[in-house]
Structure 1
């Protein structure tokens, strides 16, 4: 599948994969200078890219394991969603979960995008729902075997 992508900046870096079998494509910071993110705050970091994601798909924005575990940085909304009809710049809201100021440098890999299919559904209000084995059991209700 081909996804059209547009550079909105000469310094923007096209997404790359770490290996041929990697599901995610790394997104790079399109900043002109180092950006500091104070502890427990969020900074919006542009990628300088816009995409034409095919209908029936979305771009899921996920944390990169390295920057998350080593630096305490992750997408602020945990998983971002880029809809197929969005044509603006892909911006990652990067949150600093650590207790020290962290830095994002120009062209640093800040997140990853996975192009994923989704189902479009219609919700229908009902007076009753079909019975299931679990029923209304919530958090921790299934226990351990």
Structure 2
């Protein structure tokens, strides 16, 4: 596959043998999320109802392109079927982070959930990012919405 403007370079360091064996890969040619797998020392780990579990992935990355960060999202099937989601909603991998990617899973179900070694637990997506140049202002421009908060767009 030849690089296109829609591809970027990411260096991957495999920190555990299981991660190296399974590799960091997309499930299909059109997938946008790389599968992150549980690189557990034990064959499995349990997550109690309402509990959280830090799951190592066995990989560290270096995003070579400027203005790009990695984002760890829940796998839709794991969240919808089993109630296991990324604990903080979305994990952010800053471009200068070089440590192991660890996924914190939250069990939102009422049952104990089992994570198995090598199981796909989350997905890593790369997105463009911007650092804001902060401009203190006494006033902000007027809009139809104004300062109305959640549910105040006026639409039903």
For 1:108, the equivalent position in structure 2 comes to: 119
For 2:27, the equivalent position in structure 1 comes to: 18
Q: TM-score, normalised by structure 2?
A: 0.89
Work out whether 1:36 is the aligned partner of 2:46: yes
For 2:128, the equivalent position in structure 1 comes to: 117
For 1:88, the equivalent position in structure 2 comes to: 99
Instruction: Tell me the alpha carbon deviations over residues 83-113 of structure 1, each in whole angstroms, 9 at most, x when there is no partner.
Output: 0000000000000001110010010000000
User: Which of structure 1's runs of 4+ aligned residues deviate more than 4 A?
Assistant: none
- Give the unaligned 5+ runs of structure 2: 1-7
Instruction: Tell me the alpha carbon deviations over residues 28-60 of structure 1, each in whole angstroms, 9 at most, x when there is no partner.
Output: 000132000000010000000000013311100
Give the one of 76, 82, 85 matched to 1:71. 82
Give the one of 1, 4, 16 matched to 1:9. 16
- Secondary structure (helix, strand or coil) at the match of 2:80 reads helix
- Give the unaligned 5+ runs of structure 1: none
**1:79 CA displacement:** 0.4
**1:69 CA displacement:** 0.9
State the aligned residue count. Answer: 145
